[in-house]
Amino acid sequence: MIVLEQLCKTYHLGGESVHALDHLDLQIAAGDYLSVMGPSGSGKSTLLNMLGLLDTPDSGHYRLEQQEMSALGEEQRAQIRNHKIGFVFQAYHLIDRLNARENIELPLILTGVPPRERRTRVDELLERLGLSRHAAHHPHQLSGGQRQRVAIARAVIRRPALLLADEPTGNLDSHSGAEVIGLLEELNGEGITLLVVTHDPAMGKRARRQLWMQDGQLISDTRNRDSGDPDANR
């Protein structure tokens, strides 16, 4: 589904060049479940931003579902972010003044989906995620776990092909964290490709495919044996 070829990105910080991505090659199959780990500054967040079309590479190619992304303009990239990609952030990034329902329907509002259609889709999703009671609650009335579930609902309301999660449990206690991970894995089970960036090795190990990054390069790419994939340890 995703093909990265020789992707490069260099940041200039205080006169020093940092190779956040250094000629990176990566292929991701549809429906896969990946974790990306590595020390700070290894380029994991940059990789996430590239995959999410939030940032543009200096050179190299990015194909998403056979479509070349590097050549797209800002307007088209925004369209693809809206339709094919969902984001889950460590800090939830819910809008305080909007209630849970309004936060979840935001991606639909941005692309002008009519209110009636929005309503049925949001209701369905709230029901599924057990958030129906909280539809009218504002973020400050929700617990951390509930907020992250609202954020996940917002990420998948468009039924994206790719779900990108950046430290999704970083701000949560272990119980809520486990719930959130469970929910993400459940969504993956329905066919959404899931990529989680994390510092937590326990969480990283749960993924079928584990990437380890350092200095902008992939230094290891392993598959869990119990995933039943014979092609591990490439």
Which spans of this chain sit near another protein (rule: CB under 8 A)? 45, 49, 52, 54-55, 74-75, 78-79, 81-83, 87, 89, 93, 95, 97-98, 106-107, 109-112, 114-115, 154, 158
Q: What letter would DSSP give residue 16?
A: E
Return the structure tokens found at 222.
Answer: 């392993």
> 101 with 135: CB under 8 angstroms?
yes
Return the structure tokens found at 177.
Answer: 């964290």
Backbone angles phi and psi of 59, in degrees to 5: -155, 170
Our CB check for another protein shows the closer of 93 and 133 to be 93
Our CB check for another protein shows the closer of 115 and 228 to be 115
Our CB check for another protein shows the closer of 18 and 106 to be 106
> How far is the CA of 60 from the CAs of 26, 63, 202, in angstroms?
12, 10, 32
- With CA atoms as reference, report the closest residue to 8 among 44, 46, 47, 59: 59
Our CB check for another protein shows the closer of 56 and 224 to be 56
Question: Between the CA atoms of 167, 172, 176 and 180, what dihedral angle is there, to the nearest 10 degrees?
Answer: -20
- Give dist(CA 100, CA 93) in Å, integer: 12
Least distance between another protein and beta carbon 89 (Å) = 7
Our CB check for another protein shows the closer of 79 and 217 to be 79
Least distance between another protein and beta carbon 205 (Å) = 27
Least distance between another protein and beta carbon 58 (Å) = 14
Least distance between another protein and beta carbon 129 (Å) = 18
> 157 with 131: CB under 8 angstroms?
no
Question: Between the CA atoms of 99, 102, 104 and 106, what dihedral angle is there, to the nearest 10 degrees?
Answer: -140
Least distance between another protein and beta carbon 82 (Å) = 2
- Give dist(CA 208, CA 230) in Å, integer: 12
Least distance between another protein and beta carbon 110 (Å) = 5
Our CB check for another protein shows the closer of 93 and 225 to be 93
Q: How far is CA 182 from the centre of its chain?
A: 15
